Amino acid sequence: MTRMTMIEAVRSAMDVSMQRDDDVVVFGEDVGYFGGVFRATQGLQAKYGRTRCFDAPISESGIVGTAIGMAAYGLKPCVEIQFADYMYPAYDQITQEAARIRYRSNGDFTCPIVLRMPTGGGIFGGQTHSQSPEALFTHVCGLKVVMPSNPYDAKGLLIASIEDPDPVIFLEPKRLYNGPFDGHHDRPVIPWSKHPLGEVPDGHYTVPIGKAEIRRSGKDVTVIAYGTMVYVAEAAAEETGIDAEIIDLRSLLPLDLDTIVQSVKKTGRCVMVHEATLTSGFGAEVVSLVQEHCFYHLEAPIARVAGWDTPYPHAQEWDYFPGPARLGQALVEVMEAR
């Protein structure tokens, strides 16, 4: 066991995977010699050579397109899109190609690729360094979509993603790279070295895709969260004194519906929270499923707390980011509903 930040855990996952499997290759913009703008690939080129870890031209469709071709050959590319906000030029390759190759060729060709994308806000990233585009992936059949919230899960999920036979969108909340963040931007950041989930095994292990984790058990209300919102939910529960059960989805597609349904049937109330914009966000899917599967157990309307339906602003960062106050208020309202 070693104390790792999420960056170090992500790097360790690639290191372990490259060590175990010669077919794993890592590339992207600034990923090679420099080790990535977030340092996630630092040292990998020196250790595995330029043909296993290398810099790519600034072309997202080129990066994903070549990765798809490599996967068709038999490699397992784990590539980086520098910010999730810049995946749009590759959207054609992701949705029409990577996601469909197994289906359209009836398994003649497959696409075992991982697309790592730093995502989310809370860092004064403005419009194109803060987006949470997960719903644009969860709507695409053939993709898997995961988002870890801590170093342990980040490493285990990334190794599982690299070993997965299908394309995985691996969203890394960059606000969590160096420590958990509950939305209290005025307080000092606690580093992962002081958090139990910063304990990461050095070797190989996996966290299964498609399995949620209950971060806090409670009986009053189920809060469904992922990424940074897991810590916002913990803060909101503590500050309101509401005994919330907090589910960290970890995997959005496939979704661990059983864990959600079991929890909501127990609590009878549900709040969905995400950073992404509200309308047609991933929360809408979860809320719809909860309504469908837990209708007779619900004691209040399901609430959603999300980013506003606007582009991510710069100066108004903390009025946009769904912090503990906003979530706390939703918890109170859901508890008071009758």
70 or 273: whose CB is closer to another protein? Answer: 70
Judged by CB under 8 A, the stretch of 52-60, 232-240, 316-324, 328-336 that binds another protein is: 52-60
Q: Select 7 or 101, whichever has its Cβ closest to another protein.
A: 101
125, 231 Cβ separation under 8 angstroms: no
- Closest CB 101 distance from another protein, rounded Å: 6
Using the rule CB under 8 A, which residue among 257, 284, 298, 325 binds another protein? 257
| β-pair partners for 273 | 305
CA 153 – CA 208 distance, rounded (Å):
9
Report the residue from 39, 86, 91, 110 that binds another protein according to the rule CB under 8 A: 110
Number of residues lying near another protein (CB under 8 A) = 44
The DSSP bridge partners found for residue 168 are 114, 144
Q: Under rule CB under 8 A, which residues in 186-245 are in contact with another protein?
A: 210
Q: Which of 129, 139, 274, 314 is catalytic?
A: 129
Spatial distance between the Cα atoms of 288 and 310, rounded to a whole number of angstroms: 23
Stretch that binds another protein, among 121-129, 139-147, 183-191, 327-335 (CB under 8 A): 139-147
**CA 95 to chain CA mean position, Å:** 18
Is 295 a binder of another protein (CB under 8 A)?
no
Q: Which is nearer to another protein, 210 or 268 (CB)?
A: 210
Cα 214 to Cα 218, 225, 226, 234: the distances in Å are 10, 10, 11, 11
What DSSP character marks residue 189? P
Interacting residue with another protein among 67, 146, 230, 233 (CB under 8 A): 67
Q: CB-based contacts of 324: which residues, under 8 Å, 6+ apart?
A: 182, 183, 184, 232, 235, 236, 239
Q: Is residue 129 among the annotated active site residues? A: yes
Signed CA dihedral, 185, 189, 194, 197: sign only: positive
With CA atoms as reference, report the closest residue to 237 among 254, 220, 255, 249: 220
For another protein, the binding residue among 108, 188, 196, 203 (CB under 8 A) is 108
Binding site for another protein (CB under 8 A): 25, 51-52, 56-57, 59, 61-62, 65-70, 72-75, 77, 89, 92-93, 96-97, 100-110, 141-142, 144, 165-166, 210, 254-255, 257
Residues labelled as active-site residues: 129
